[in-house]
Amino acid sequence: MTTAESALVRFHAGVATDSEGRRIAEILAWGDDDLERVHDYIQWLFPLPERSGFNPYAPILTPSDIAAFRERADLRNSLYRALQRLLAFYGFAEVKTEDGLEISRTAEFPQKARNWLRPGNHNLLRISRILRALTLLGLEREARSFLAALEALHAEAADQLGPVAIAYWRRAVR
């Protein structure tokens, strides 16, 4: 690692903190209540090239950051661990299949979905962020698998998700 690396890259490499002094391992160890209650970590776990309207201290994903994630397995592994934690938060899990991987609902999904599966919930925006960050940073396969699980959910619960969320999610993975 060099001193020219961004705060975001150093955070995902596990050698620096976010703007609030938290390391990635600490955030990923939080319980679901903290993940729901705290709103300034998601931009660090799943960065985007646009400034966050909710967190003025969030990093802005640069072309150099994107290149670093695409080149470095440790950064993609960090992003993957963040995905696994948020999937569990939403009631999903990755399942290995003969064709690769699939993301499906867990037994805890009904309970966990009560916290987020409703129109206008802020977690719908978080999911858009997750999908887009995965796509930009080299985890396209995981983004497509998560989108497939969300599309299956939308087919069953369109009244709770509506057409806007699924449209954003599809655009995020393109």
CB 151 within 8 A of CB 105: no
| pLDDT in the model for residue 100 | 76
Question: What number is the average pLDDT over the span 137-148?
Answer: 96
84: its two tokens: 């696994």
CA distance 60 to 53: 12
Q: What is the pTM of this model?
A: 0.94
At residue 99, φ and ψ (nearest 5 deg) are: -90, 0
Per-residue pLDDT tens for 30-70?
999 999 999 999 999 999 999 998 899 999 999 999 999 99
Closest C-alpha among 172, 173, 151 to residue 163: 151
pLDDT for the residue 101: 82
Tokens 């987020």 -> residue: 116
- Over the stretch 85-103, which tens digit does the pLDDT of each residue have? 999 999 999 998 887 789 9
